[in-house]
Amino acid sequence: MRGRALRVLTEVYGGAGLDALLDRALDGTPAGQDKAFLAELVRGTLQWRGRYQHILQQFVRRLPADDRLLALFHLSLHQLLALDGVPPFAVLHQAGELCRRHVGEGKVGFVNGVLRAMMRRLLEPGNEGGVRPEALAEVFRGLEPGSVEYLAAWHSHPVWLVRRWLERFGPERTAALLAFNNGAVRPAFHVLRPADPGPMAEALKLLGLDLLGAETAGALGGRCLMLRERAPRALLAEALRRHPPLIVQDPAVQEATGWLLAGVPAPVGAVL
């Protein structure tokens, strides 16, 4: 799984789109926990890429120019800092093997040395590891709390976006917004017109999908059907196959679309 994750991450770091790459990797992966683990490795590493990049900068003189090495370090940090049940020695061993296979034998010592230094500084001693919060905070102590640089690195968001939010909302609200933005995302459907969201919600429940309900999201006049938690991809695909008026769409996108269409006259606005 780690090898597949590294290949996807390397291509994304090189400028490729994520969705198609990850879908292909998942399609070639056995069902069950392996798929979930692969998706978490890829999406989690990308989500916290900014934080991991700052951490890595504290342990190397110069950031690697090779996307394969960058992706390998970020992937390893994600397992060490964000995933329970992955022993540090396993992360270290796998990183060495991945480096040997995908980067080259000459970089294995460098990767092992940097990761060992990170583990000594950031993790509790012992086979189980566990993050030392005070040590992790210390890595960011060189950045002024509440600054653009700190918020962008700690919350792993683009500098330009953090700067814009700081100017508009101030430090406290920006920090809260960034933290919320990193929270778990519930999958959601959008019910295309003219289909009725009510019967559509009942049909999804009969399929075994646990919904919060259209009224919970409040997007596009109640056309957002949000799931309580992630569902198996096969079940989501079956729902889309059976019910063509459904599309998978982020609630925030639905809300933004609603604002955009508020001033669009019929018939276009009524259809969308």
Helix (H) or strand (E) holding 252: helix 251-261
How many angstroms separate the CA atoms of 128 and 125, rounded? 8
Q: Are residues 172 and 108 in the same domain?
A: no
- In this predicted structure, what is the pLDDT of residue 217? 45
Is residue 72 domain-shared with residue 196, that is, in the same domain?
no
Collapsing DSSP to helix, strand or coil, 185 comes out as coil
Same-domain status, 211 and 239: yes
Number of domains in the chain: 3
Check residue 220 and give its pLDDT: 47
Specify the 3-state DSSP secondary structure of 164: helix
Of 82, 113, 139, the position where a domain reaches its end is 139
Helical H runs in 83-206? 88-102, 108-122, 133-139, 148-155, 159-169, 171-181, 197-206
Q: 246 has which bridge partners? A: 191
Do 14 and 132 fall within a single domain?
yes
Q: Do 97 and 21 share a structural domain?
A: yes
Q: Looking at residue 47, what is its pLDDT? A: 96
Read off the pTM. Answer: 0.77
**32 and 156 part of one domain:** no
β-bridge partners, 226: 188
Residue 171 sits in the same domain as residue 134: no
For the chain (272 residues), the mean pLDDT of every run of 10, in chain order, is 92 91 85 81 95 96 93 96 90 94 94 95 83 94 94 97 96 94 84 89 89 54 81 84 89 76 61 49
Q: What's 68's domain CATH number?
A: 1.10.940.10
Looking at residue 98, what is its pLDDT? Answer: 95
One domain for residues 165 and 252: no
User: Do 71 and 166 lie in a common domain?
Assistant: no
Q: 156 and 133 in one domain?
A: no
> What's the domain range around 249?
188-271
Same domain, 40 and 167: no
**Boundary (domain end) residue, out of 139, 172, 197:** 139
Residues 6+ apart with CB under 8 A from 57: 63
153 plus 196 within the same structural domain: no
Question: Which of 105, 139, 173 is where one domain is finished?
Answer: 139
